[in-house]
Structure 1
Amino acid sequence: MSQPKTPLTGTTSDSTSHDVMPRSDDTGPWEAVMSHISQQVTEMEADIQALKNSNTQQDLAIQDARSSTFVHWGSSSCSNLSHTVYSGVVGGSDAGHSGAATNYLCLTMSPVFSDHAVPASLALLYGTEYETIDSHQNKDAVCAVCRPTLSTTVMIPGTNVCTPGWHLQYSGFLMAGEFKHQAGSEYICVDSNMENTVHGDANENGKLLYYTVTWCGSLPCTPYINNKVVTCAVCSK
């Protein structure tokens, strides 16, 4: 009696064929897999770049929120650490008026006026002159409003250099109104160049700027020295 034949591999006794595995040198399916992986990598890289751009925009927004402004007194421009918002002239109240405002203003050179009727009782606005008894005497002071690229700015009276780790915006002299005048004033740091307008050097007064000088007593000497002109520095970090 004859033995039944053993089915060949890959076939059944009823001749139904199974799927045939691809040969090792058949790269078609692997190319599809690699193409899919490459596409996923490209999409992931795009997502990472978008996230970086978003973080950069957030960082810039945070930096903008932290930024402030300061006035560069005695200069019509800002340092390379700041952007110039506008340039102008220094103004304020008259030094001889007992009811004067104390602060100095950096006035725009593009004023816009109101047609409001001028009242009988009012405040007055004048320009500002250097009262320095030197080459800057009676010249009209200028200014610039600056927005620093660094988030914090401070004026340091008594020195013309910055604390370590801080960056110098400008240095100059601590100036204010004359101590015998009726009007009060504030101390401001005026650039040592004391830039002025071309308006002239006529003695018209108004708001005035004098060097500040040390007076020992309650002021500790040392480290201060009596009767010395005081310097200042504007620094950012």
Structure 2
Amino acid sequence: MGADIQVFKTQTSGDIQTLKNSNTQQELAIQDAQSSTFVHWGSSTCSNLSHTVYSGVVGGSWYDHRGAATNYLCLTMSPVFSDHAVPSINALQLLYGGEYTTSDSHHDKDPVCAVCQSTLSATVMIPGTNVCTPGWHLQYSGFLMAGQNDHAAGSEYICVDSRLENTVHGDASEDGKLLYYTVTRCGSLPCTPYVNNKVVTCAVCSK
């Protein structure tokens, strides 16, 4: 009788632990479904509304290569390389580091970034303002940046933290994937509310 009771207790304890593990997995799955990820450009850390998945440096294609990839990348600082042979053909897609081209104290410095997971389910970048829509929470604000319009390579707009944090790699002008401030130009852009020849701000907001 005593042995049977002990076996029952052991089985019951195991069942309870299994249920707890299952509940924990379900809770984690729900949390992941209710979260969102974004890149915090120009910062190596995330806000208190999110946690850091990894920190890295900004990279991408050479600013003046025709056929270059347009997007900016947040590159990990723990790379794993392939032993695949480098192709002998000429049309290689090459990867370079990023660089601020800002004609101020950040000029020629190399930008950092962080990939963040927010505890909130939706995250959006709002160009043209450094504040969030009511009901949304500010992850960070900064400047709308992109490549220059007379370069051969295209680029995309990204929101770079107003601190324009950089690595300690150096201030040398090595070019690569360049970042310039975006400036307003009135015409088809309505002025007002916009004003001509102003540096454009941005905000990354979650809800």
Q: Is 1:206 aligned to residue 176 of structure 2?
A: yes
Equivalent residue number for residue 62 of structure 1: 30
What SS does structure 2 have at the residue aligned with 1:112? coil
Equivalent residue number for residue 49 of structure 2: 81
What SS does structure 2 have at the residue aligned with 1:172? strand
Aligned-pair Cα RMSD in Å? 1.7
Equivalent residue number for residue 180 of structure 1: 150
What SS does structure 2 have at the residue aligned with 1:69? strand
Number of equivalences: 186
Segments of 5+ residues of structure 1 without an aligned counterpart are 1-49
Ranges of 4+ aligned residues in structure 1 off by more than 4 Å: 56-60
CA distance in 1, matches of 2:36, 2:104: 34
Query: Shift of residue 227 of structure 1?
Result: 0.5
CA distance in 1, matches of 2:78, 2:27: 34
Q: Is 1:190 aligned to residue 160 of structure 2?
A: yes
CA distance in 2, matches of 1:108, 1:205: 20
**For residues 72-124 of structure 1, what are the alpha-carbon distances to aligned partners after superposition, in whole Å with 9 as ceiling and x for unaligned?**
00000000000100000000001110111000000000000011111123100
Query: Shift of residue 166 of structure 1?
Result: 0.7
What SS does structure 1 have at the residue aligned with 2:36? coil
Segments of 5+ residues of structure 2 without an aligned counterpart are 1-18
Equivalent residue number for residue 124 of structure 1: 94
Residue type of the alignment partner of 1:152: A
Residue type of the alignment partner of 2:43: S
Equivalent residue number for residue 122 of structure 2: 152
Residue type of the alignment partner of 1:160: N
Provide the TM-score with structure 1 as the length reference: 0.75
Q: Is the 8 A contact 2:185 2:196 kept in 1?
A: yes
Residue type of the alignment partner of 1:205: D
Query: Shift of residue 67 of structure 1?
Result: 1.6
Higher strand residue share:
2
CA distance in 2, matches of 1:206, 1:60: 40
* Higher radius of gyration, 1 or 2: 1
Q: Percent identity?
A: 83
Equivalent residue number for residue 60 of structure 2: 92
CA distance in 2, matches of 1:63, 1:210: 37
1:143 to 109, 113, 132: 113
Q: Is the 8 A contact 1:88 1:143 kept in 2?
A: yes
Q: Which has the higher contact order (CA 8 A, sep 6+)?
A: 2
CA distance in 1, matches of 2:175, 2:116: 27
Q: Is the 8 A contact 1:63 1:151 kept in 2?
A: no
1:44-59 matches, within 5 Å, as none
Query: Shift of residue 61 of structure 1?
Result: 3.0
What SS does structure 2 have at the residue aligned with 1:155? strand
Query: Shift of residue 60 of structure 1?
Result: 5.1
CA distance in 1, matches of 2:79, 2:29: 31
Query: Shift of residue 59 of structure 1?
Result: 5.7
Residue type of the alignment partner of 2:45: S
Query: Shift of residue 58 of structure 1?
Result: 5.0
CA distance in 2, matches of 1:196, 1:63: 32
**For residues 140-184 of structure 1, what are the alpha-carbon distances to aligned partners after superposition, in whole Å with 9 as ceiling and x for unaligned?**
000000000111100000000001111100000000001111100
